[in-house]
Amino acid sequence: MPELRRVSVNGVELNVALSGSGPAVLLLHGFPHTWEVWREVMAGLSGRYRVIAPDLRGLGASSPVSSGFDAGTLAEDAAGLLAALGVPSAAVVGIDAGVAPAVLLALRRPGLVRRLVVMESVLGTLPGAGDFLAGGPPWWFGFHCAASGLAETVLEGREAAYVGWFLHTGTLGEGVRPAVRDAFVRAYTGRQALSRAFCYYRALPQSAVQIEQALAATRLRVPTMAIGARPVGRALEHQLRPVTDDLSGHLIEDCGHIIPLHRPRALLALLRPFLAGGQAGAG
């Protein structure tokens, strides 16, 4: 069982799960997750690494806040967390909403990021995601970003069904263990909790500009691995290919969006050699 600790960084108190010892690995989750999306991955890595998995600002058991949901602020949260824990550098792994801050941290502070793993997201308007976005962004992007808090108004009292839909779809219908499902539902229950989650989507234009500005000044120079499944596939890899010095790409077959829950063994089979310094063959 990971140790849970409260860590104050960048004006917010983060709930952080910690396990293992050795070189640090920082895990950044997405929506509708908490640190618990990484539970099996943490167990698989903690024999060799110090694994650090925070609830992102405003989400899960981290303190509620009303601002700072853009990738730049989230990247500073990550840097502050590592500093508070006395970690000079870390491999950084991000999924979904955790991808943009992970990439921005590597762009802005390459000395802090030893290796970078990103999965199942796209980076703003960078070219390469055309196939994934051919029919427009997924419908929930517009719904979550709707003005006047429409999504919160509609979903309050129906959180379990909504979160459950994402978990069902994100595992290709296999679902997740009841304890994990219940943890995620608790994390996103209530109008304010929903609003904070949707602020991540409402900050996407700002995050996209931050990524583009960083890439106008530098390339992504740290060794990077992009992992896709359904529905994003290789879109993120294609976006990163022109701007990254050292990139490997993989597609996990028969795997839904929530890779750490749906196919943790396949994910660990890619992570272990990459984090150790080797490159698993492109899949």
| pLDDT tens readout for residues 22-41 | 999 999 999 999 999 999 99
- Calculate mean pLDDT across residues 149-166: 97
Q: How far apart are CA 265 and CA 135, in angstroms?
A: 32
Does residue 256 fall inside a structural domain? yes
Q: How far apart are CA 142 and CA 108, in angstroms?
A: 29
Buried b (16+ CB within 10 A) or exposed e, 122-142: bbbebebbeebeeeeeeeeee
- Assign 147 a pLDDT band (cuts: 50, 70, 90): confident
Does residue 236 fall inside a structural domain? yes
Tokens of 204: 């996407």
Does residue 281 fall inside a structural domain? no
Q: Are 262 and 254 in contact (CB under 8 A)?
A: no
The residue segments making up the domain with residue 113 are 3-275
Measured CA to CA in angstroms, residue 271 lies from 15, 16, 92, 189, 216 at distances of 24, 21, 11, 32, 29
Number of domains into which the chain is organized: 1
Does residue 27 fall inside a structural domain? yes
Instruction: Lowest mean pLDDT of 11-20, 143-152, 170-179, name the range.
Output: 143-152
CATH number of the domain residue 9 falls in? 3.40.50.1820
Q: How far apart are CA 54 and CA 99, in angstroms?
A: 14
- Calculate mean pLDDT across residues 195-214: 97
Does residue 283 fall inside a structural domain? no
Torsion angles phi and psi, residue 21, rounded to 5: -150, 155
Q: Are 113 and 250 in contact (CB under 8 A)?
A: no
Does residue 53 fall inside a structural domain? yes
> In terms of pTM, does the model score above 0.85?
yes
Does residue 146 fall inside a structural domain? yes
- Calculate mean pLDDT across residues 206-221: 97
Does residue 282 fall inside a structural domain? no
Task: Say which amino acid occupies 51.
Answer: V
Q: How far apart are CA 35 and CA 61, in angstroms?
A: 9
Task: Say which amino acid occupies 273.
Answer: P
